[in-house]
Amino acid sequence: MTTPTATASRPLLEVRDLHVTYRQGGQAVPAVRGVDFTLAPGDTLGVAGESGCGKSTMALSLLRLHGDAAKVTGEVLFDGENLLTTSWSKLRAVRWAGASVVFQGAMSALNPVRTVLDQIVEPMVLHDRVGPKEAERRATELLDSVGIPARRIRSYPHEFSGGQRQRVMIAMALACRPDLIIADEPTTALDVMVQAQILELLGELVRESRIAVIMITHDLSLLAHTCDRLAVMYAGRIVELGPSRQVLKDPQHPYTRSLSQAFPTIGDPASRRAPAGLPGDPPRPGENDQGCAFAPRCPEAEESCRSGELLLWPTGPGRSAACRHVPPQHGGTS
Amino acid sequence: MTPIPDRSGAEARADVPAQVPAPEQTPALEARDLSVVYPGSRGRGPARAVDGVNLRIGKGEIVALIGESGCGKSTLARALVGLVRPTGGQVLSQGRPLDYSAKALKQYRRHTQLVLQDPGGALNPKQNVYDAVALGPRLHRLTEGLPERVHGALARAGLRPPEAFVGRYPHELSGGQQQRAVIAGVLALDPMVMVADEPVASLDASVRGEILKLILHLRDELGLSALVVSHDLGLAWNIADRVAVMYLGRVVEQGTVEEVLLHPKHPYTQALLSVIPNGAEDWRPTLLTGEPPDPTAIPAGCRFHPRCGRWAAASEADRAAAACDRRELPVLTPDGARAACHLLEPNTLLPETV
Amino acid sequence: MSAAQTATEPVHAEAPAAAPVPPRFAAARRFARAFRGRPAGVAGLSILLLFTLLALLAPAFIGPDQLDVTKVNGPLLAAPSGSYPLGTDQAGRSVLLLLIWGSRESLEIGVLATVLTVVFGSAIGIVAGHFGGFVGRALMHVTDWFIALPSLPLAISLAAVLGQGSASITIAIAVTSWTATARLVRAQTLAVEARPFVERARALGAGNWQIMLRQVLPNVMPLILVSSTLTVAGSLLSEATLTFLGLGSPTDVTWGEMIHDAFFGGAFTADAWWYLLPPGLAILAVVLGFTLTGRAVEHVLDPRMENK
């Protein structure tokens, strides 16, 4: 909160010490183990990490979308309101209009027996209390802005291709003019070309209307172009946070380094016939609490990495990392 | 329009370690004018999933087959391993046409193997790793020394020590371990050719590199030939010797990885390359518009022309001369032209790439 | 391990240590452990074991004399007492002994009918699901005909043709209930066949039978198992229905036959609840036992059921 813009407007979203613990077969499985970040209006934050690192759990827990299956502690301040303790009716209002979610599988998130128009109009009529005529006009406009022509708005989800369904999902997310969109792997199942189209579309809409975005994916290079800031998660914690281009070009945490090398730059002789990977498997949640969680797979790990607790610390302007080998540097924010 | 900037310096060095086998060798696996047409259903016309493809995989060579979903690449892969019977053309294994009698097919499957995209689904949840890997040898009655064979395959696939894995069930393995178990199941048959359909698409970024390393390693150590089907051009750069780009049932561009990825000629290849984020400040993808390709309604002339930026930007005179919307393109052959595009021909006024 | 070592030559004596094969039946052991964690299932299984044990041991303490209407000498339709804990029937036989003896025939019919149903239905279902095309369609058409057959009239006419008694009842139950299993198994087979591991097996060189027996069957088995426990329950009820309607042999003692005798022998008018109630409750208990066991098996085999 040291940047001048932050003083002008208070953060839209402030997450403090977020923990999410699942109950599984009588055991408590910690999926998210202390996550802090803030998001200003219009900010875009990318969250990257391997499957099982807690990135989706973290994002969905912000709106308490896990129900009773998970225990969520900490603070999630959305416009100053703590979503973790607020009443269900207030939370519902936030889910309708304040923050919406774009899920990964558009086919299962859409109701197969209703037209896409009906599905977009419904929240508008219910929540914004606009007349059905007005809602339909707005829905048509929205679908048009995501590239679904007016003649197709009365089609059913199965009549669309995967990319088009994901566009419909985005239109639905925008229906009640939210301040925040949480996109959980919005393009994972799609072709590269469609993926590029969707990201371009999302980027455009967000820039125009100053909607804040939290985007979750495992592909680091995609995030760098769509998000201003990047958070890399490992074993339920953020291990590196900073401006996306810097994080990608000059990663500080060894884990970020190996993630960024996993997708080669075509033309780079270093990666020709030399795929880069990271040996070993991610730790299972709750497996090991001592020291740096990445130490067992880290090429640079030392004895000191295996004990004590490791926190995210500032390592440069706007950057922070959780690695003993990166010297702390003040002037950054976390 | 340079798809990826700043690679002129890189290419000089990258071109050096080309390991393309001598062309006079009998290819390990070859598709000749191969086509697969699925009969139409629900009021749609027949789907020409693969519509005349020539492809050659040399001994010890890794070929990447790149394309978007619906381009026919998975059907081609299945036709090459004999799971789908072609409606036209031939599959040649070691120079001999594939025989589709049950006995000959079983014999063929001993040395030409398929690795599927989703390793979690490719393993029977009721079978432990030992039985999953032993499945192939048991089917081919290679039961003598079976435990040693299975352990050897597991070790070569990187599941070490094998005894720690044999008793586990698929759901007890990570995604990368599952894919290694699938590959071990292939290796247990000592195959000569491996066809991998999106082997890393469902895996995490860090695991992706490990599996690709394994495929490279198997080629180097065992001389395995491989066709890797993917939508990811970066994968081709990582492991392949040659690459073929498919669009709507045809190969539209082919060549060595360096040729195709550093000097793409076909506008489709260029567009595919342009959408890969490269970290540059001025990165602007060339987005293709229009409907996604549909194999039941293949456009006349060049099948890419409705979405082609080069065609859209061409002058009236060039359009009249090239006639992409009417004139059929010849089918590419391994020894022929690199790209199938009318606007590349010398009689057109457009330069190849700018 | 020692058995393997003695069986092989000395040269290979070390081989098992170098390349150990995972133990068999590990899955069965895990299943048993998980099943023990479900009290309802354990209760259900205990009920079944109790009845099975009684049925098996019955000949040890019940002689033919005690069941023969002509040889018994107890009071007629007497209320429960010290010597007749569940009272007597209209011929003076002990209802308790009848109940225990009746479990033999009832369970036999139920289990036999189920085995026929499940084996036949599963075979048809898997073959129809695997082959699809002409074979699959033809088999499903045949199944549809059988579904359309009205079960009660069919059973009655079968009994008329084959004669009264447990054999015709067993066949009648099997003929009318295999279709449900076949439909169920075919649907599951189609789902399993669509999964990549079947394609992998095919690519490795597996033929039709190997795919059906080694890949599909183990994945359809849990469903078959669960459905068979429910089929047993259904068979018991059908047996009771058919014998109640008089299709059983009057000389046999089954629970259905007991209700039949009680109903037509004047137990109602005599207010002899002790004669009517026990066979009904016994049927209820066994059906419940099978259902509880089936539900528990379903849960153990499919961990995703946990949330429902």
Q: How confident is the model at residue A7 (pLDDT cuts 50, 70, 90)?
A: very low
- Structure-block tokens of residue B45: 């016309």
Q: How confident is the model at residue A2 (pLDDT cuts 50, 70, 90)?
A: very low
Q: Could B128 and C22 be called an inter-chain contact, meaning their C-beta atoms sit closer than 8 Å?
A: yes
Region C126-134: mean pLDDT is: 89
Please state, in angstroms and rounded to a whole number, the distance separating the CA atoms of residues A219 and C250.
76
Do A322 and A253 meet the contact criterion of CB atoms below 8 Å apart? yes
Residue C199: its chain B contacts at CB < 8 A?
83, 114, 116, 122
Does any domain span residue A294?
no
CA-to-CA separations, B244 to B63, B251, C59, in angstroms, rounded = 8, 6, 78
Whether the per-residue pLDDT at A314 is higher than 80: the answer is yes
Do B107 and C202 meet the contact criterion of CB atoms below 8 Å apart? no
Please classify residue B281 by burial: count the beta carbons closer than 10 Å to its beta carbon, then call 0-12 exposed, 13-18 middle and 19+ buried.
Answer: exposed
Least confident window among A38-52, A225-239, A278-292, C231-245:
A278-292
Whether the per-residue pLDDT at A52 is higher than 90: the answer is no
Place of tokens 């026990």: C278
Please classify residue A69 by burial: count the beta carbons closer than 10 Å to its beta carbon, then call 0-12 exposed, 13-18 middle and 19+ buried.
Answer: exposed
Does any domain span residue A209?
yes
Partner residue facing B279 (CB), from A265, A279, A281:
A265
Tens-digit pLDDT profile for residues A134-174: 888 888 888 888 878 888 888 888 888 777 888 888 888 88
Range of the domain at A72: 7-234
Q: Could C15 and B147 be called an inter-chain contact, meaning their C-beta atoms sit closer than 8 Å?
A: yes
Residue ranges of B 210-269 with Cβ closer than 8 A to chain A: 210-213, 216, 231-234, 237-239, 257, 261-262
Whether the per-residue pLDDT at A5 is higher than 50: the answer is no
Region C280-294: mean pLDDT is: 90
Touching subunits of C (3+ CB pairs, under 8 Å) are B
Whether the per-residue pLDDT at C200 is higher than 60: the answer is yes
Please state, in angstroms and rounded to a whole number, the distance separating the CA atoms of residues B125 and B109.
23
> CA end-to-end span of chain B, whole Å?
5
List all residues 6 or more positions away from B250 whose beta carbon is below 8 Å from its beta carbon.
B51, B52, B53, B303, B329, B331, B332, B340
Tens-digit pLDDT profile for residues A140-151: 888 888 878 888
Whether the per-residue pLDDT at C67 is higher than 70: the answer is yes
List all residues 6 or more positions away from A206 whose beta carbon is below 8 Å from its beta carbon.
A42, A44, A181, A213
Q: Which of A42, A18, A76, A58 is nearest to A184 (CA)?
A: A58
Residues of chain A above pLDDT 70, percent = 93
Dihedral sign of CA atoms A9, A200, A202, A245 in order: negative
Domains and CATH numbers, chain B: 26-259 (3.40.50.300)
Long-range Cβ contacts of B145-151 (<8 Å, 24+ apart):
B147/C15, B147/C16, B147/C19, B147/C20, B147/C21, B148/C15, B148/C18, B148/C19, B149/B188, B150/B184, B150/B188, B150/C19, B151/C18, B151/C19
Residues pairing with A39 in the sheet:
A13
| Residue B191 DSSP one-character state | -
Q: How confident is the model at residue A13 (pLDDT cuts 50, 70, 90)?
A: very high
Region C138-157: mean pLDDT is: 84
**pLDDT for res B90:** 92
Does any domain span residue A121?
yes
Tens-digit pLDDT profile for residues C202-258: 999 888 999 999 899 988 988 888 888 888 888 888 888 888 888 887 778 888 888
Does any domain span residue A200?
yes
Residue ranges of B 309-328 with Cβ closer than 8 A to chain A: none
Region C257-267: mean pLDDT is: 82
Tens-digit pLDDT profile for residues A25-43: 677 888 898 999 999 988 8
CA-to-CA separations, C244 to C112, C240, C258, in angstroms, rounded = 19, 6, 8
Q: Which fold has domain C36-74+87-307?
A: MetI-like fold (1.10.3720)
Long-range Cβ contacts of A86-92 (<8 Å, 24+ apart):
A91/A63, A91/A64
Do B99 and B177 meet the contact criterion of CB atoms below 8 Å apart? no
Strands (E), A128-228: 180-184, 212-217
Whether the per-residue pLDDT at A248 is higher than 90: the answer is no
Do B249 and B53 meet the contact criterion of CB atoms below 8 Å apart? yes
Distance from the Cα of C198 to chain B's closest Cα (Å) equals 7
* Angle at alpha carbon of residue A86, lines to A81 and A87, rounded to 5°: 140
Residue B207: its chain A contacts at CB < 8 A?
50, 277-278
| Residue B334 DSSP one-character state | T
Least confident window among A211-215, C78-82, C107-111:
C78-82
Partner residue facing B206 (CB), from A197, A245, A259:
A259
Residue in chain B nearest C204 by alpha carbon: B136
**pLDDT for res A107:** 63
DSSP output for B29-52: EEEEEEEEEEPP-TTPPPEEEEEE
- Alpha carbon A115 to its chain centroid, in Å, reads 28
Q: How confident is the model at residue C304 (pLDDT cuts 50, 70, 90)?
A: low
**pLDDT for res B184:** 94
Residue ranges of B 155-214 with Cβ closer than 8 A to chain C: 162-163, 166-167, 182, 185, 189
Does any domain span residue A326?
no
Does any domain span residue A251?
no
**pLDDT for res A331:** 55
Place of tokens 């009236």: B316
Q: What is the CATH number for A109?
A: 3.40.50.300
Do B35 and B72 meet the contact criterion of CB atoms below 8 Å apart? no
Residues pairing with A16 in the sheet:
A75
**pLDDT for res B61:** 94
Region C296-308: mean pLDDT is: 65
- Which of residues A130 and C290 earns the better pLDDT score? C290
Distance from the Cα of C18 to chain B's closest Cα (Å) equals 8
Residue A226's CB: how many other CB atoms inside 10 A? Answer: 22
Please state, in angstroms and rounded to a whole number, the distance separating the CA atoms of residues B203 and C166.
58
Q: Which of C301, C297, C132 is nearest to C211 (CA)?
A: C132
Classify each residue of B176-187 as buried b or exposed e, where b means 16 or more C-beta atoms within 10 Å of its C-beta. bbbbbbbbbbbb
- Most confident among A105-114, A318-327, C66-75, C83-92 (mean pLDDT): A318-327
Instruction: Report residues of chain B scoring pLDDT below 50.
Output: 1-21, 23, 347-354
Q: Residue ranges per domain, chain C?
A: 36-74+87-307
Does any domain span residue A100?
yes
Do B250 and B51 meet the contact criterion of CB atoms below 8 Å apart? yes
| C207 near B CB under 8 A | yes
SS3 for A62-92 is CCCCCHHHEEEEEEEEECCEECCCCCHHHHH
Please classify residue A85 by burial: count the beta carbons closer than 10 Å to its beta carbon, then call 0-12 exposed, 13-18 middle and 19+ buried.
Answer: exposed
**pLDDT for res B6:** 42
Region A55-69: mean pLDDT is: 85
Do A78 and A99 meet the contact criterion of CB atoms below 8 Å apart? yes
**pLDDT for res C18:** 57
List all residues 6 or more positions away from B11 whose beta carbon is below 8 Å from its beta carbon.
A267, B258, B262
φ/ψ region of B299 (left if φ > 0, alpha if ψ in -120 to 50, else beta) reads: beta
**pLDDT for res C306:** 44
**pLDDT for res A1:** 42
Does any domain span residue A333?
no
Please state, in angstroms and rounded to a whole number, the distance separating the CA atoms of residues C120 and C183.
12
